[in-house]
Amino acid sequence: MASTLPLSQSHSFSSIKLPNRVPKPTSAPSSCFLLSKKSSSLSPQLSLSSTRRYTVVVAATTTEMPKKQSKGGFVDEMRAVAMKLHTRDQAREGEKEPEGPPVVKWEPTINGYLRFLVDSKLVYDTLEAIVEKAPHPSYAEFRNTGLERSEALKKDLEWFKEQGHEIPEPSSPGISYARYLEELAEKDPQAFICHFYNTYFAHTAGGRMIGKKVAEMILDKKELEFYKWEGNLSKLLQNVRDKLNEVAANWSREEKDHCLEETEKSFKYSGEILRLILS
């Protein structure tokens, strides 16, 4: 779950474009919002008018950490595929054509945000249970990475409950994605790893920017545990990046290509959950 995102039917988060006075975040596979001072004219993106007149575009894509931090390997290929699924407005490497005019104003609500958090927790619960069970031995490499989000989300939902909010049950987008991940985990490890990578890395980039904007608009700037990590996040990401490269080193070219082909589907599922914020 950051800030230059067109919320299209086929993507999830994307890279972030921010006003000059705001430090530019790192790029990582993720679904995020694109903040710019342009008028809303992006593809099926959600434009948001805040008091500062930023345009927030929800684009489904994957953003990865800066190339200068990468040591090469298959993760660079995953990042490249994700970036190509952005439009040019979202990323220099973007190749995807805008899919139409904006259709919705980005006006998050507490109820919608709770639905997003609940469905996100279901997805992270599922990913972390799969990694713990490790139906394929390579999944065990991704235990206790420091990127896990399930416990953080549990604390956040408890906080909302203490504030008097009713916590909803998981909805169709989260349930569908969790079931799909369980199916992939058993029969298609390359596709599962694609979703693992995009989900966790996207949240550290675009996801954080989205959380910040939502907090500013409806939570009095409260920072949720969902957007906090213990330790140095860059190092945590690099450790996982190295493990991903090690696992993929044992794959054939055909298996690697199959993993890359799953990227757009990962954006689709993530994008459907992200849209819950506006529900």
- Per-residue pLDDT tens over the stretch 181-222: 999 999 999 999 999 999 999 999 989 999 999 999 999 999
Residues linked to residue 47 through DSSP beta bridges, in sequence order: 105
Q: What is the reported pLDDT for 59? A: 42
- The predicted pLDDT at position 190 comes to 98
Whole-number pLDDT of residue 90? 57
Please tell me the predicted confidence (pLDDT) of residue 72: 75
Q: What distance in Å separates the CA atoms of residue 173 and residue 115, rounded to the nearest whole number? A: 10
- What global pTM score does this model have? 0.78
Mean pLDDT of the chain: 79
- Classify strands 32-36 and 55-59 as parallel, antiparallel or unpaired: antiparallel
> What is the pLDDT, as a whole number, of residue 239?
98
Q: Please determine, for residue 17, whether its predicted confidence score (pLDDT) is greater than 70.
A: no
Distance of CA 36 to CAs 1, 49, 100, 105, 144, Å? 19, 11, 18, 15, 36
pLDDT for the residue 102: 53
CATH superfamily name and code, 32-278: Heme oxygenase-like (1.20.910.10)
Fill in the amino acid letter for 83.
Answer: M
pLDDT score of 178 more than 90 = yes
Pick the closest to residue 135 from 85, 192, 91 (CA basis): 192
Residue 92's pLDDT is 58
Tokens 């757009």 sit on residue:
264
How many CB atoms neighbour CB 19 within 10 A?
12
Q: How many whole angstroms separate alpha carbon 148 and alpha carbon 132? A: 12
Q: Write the pLDDT tens digit of every residue in 57-103.
A: 344 333 444 444 445 799 999 999 998 886 666 555 555 666 665 54
Instruction: Sketch the domain layout of the chain as residue ranges.
Output: 32-278
Rounded-to-5 percentages of helix, strand, coil across the chain: 55, 5, 40
* Run of H or E including 133: helix 110-133
The predicted-structure confidence for 118-149, as pLDDT tens digits, reads as follows 999 999 999 999 999 999 999 999 999 999 99
In whole angstroms, give the CA distance from residue 81 to residue 73: 14
38 Cβ contact partners less than 8 Å away, ≥ 6 residues apart:
55, 89
pLDDT score of 46 more than 50? no
**What average pLDDT does the segment 2-29 reach?**
36
